[in-house]
Amino acid sequence: MLRMGALALCLFATPALADTIANPVAAFSGLDKITGRITAFDVYINETVQFGALQITPRACYTRPLTETQRTSVFVEVDQVSLRGTVDRIFTGWM
C-alpha cells in the first residue's frame, strides 16, 4: 500500500507550469564564417532581416516566466538568396 501511495505521489506531484511570455522581438546572433565575427541583431515578429545571403523571419518567440528555468524558443523561417536572386527556404522550425 505504501508503494502505491509513493507511486501516485510521483505521478501527480509535477510542478505547475506558468504561461509562456510572448515576445514582440527575437534576438539572434549571426556568425560570419569568413571573418569569424559574431553579430547580434534583433528582429520583430513577422518581419524579415537579411544577414549575408540569409533572410530571417521569426514567426513566434516565447520565454518562460522568471519563476521557471530560463528558456526562449523562436519559430523561424530562414531563406537563402542565391547570386541569381532566387530565394530558397533552407529552414523552418523551432530554435
Q: What is the mean pLDDT of each run of 10 residues along the chain (95 residues)?
A: 41 55 95 93 97 96 90 95 95 96
What is the predicted pLDDT for the residue at 18?
A: 61
Report CA 86 to chain centroid distance, whole Å.
26
With helix as H, strand as E and coil as C, how does 4-62 read?
HHHHHHHHHCCCCCCCCEECCEEEEEEECCCCCCEEEEEEECCCCEEECCEEEEEEEEE
Q: What is the pTM of this model?
A: 0.74
What is the predicted pLDDT for the residue at 13?
A: 43
What is the predicted pLDDT for the residue at 19?
A: 82
Tell me the C-alpha distance between 25 and 28, whole Å. Answer: 10
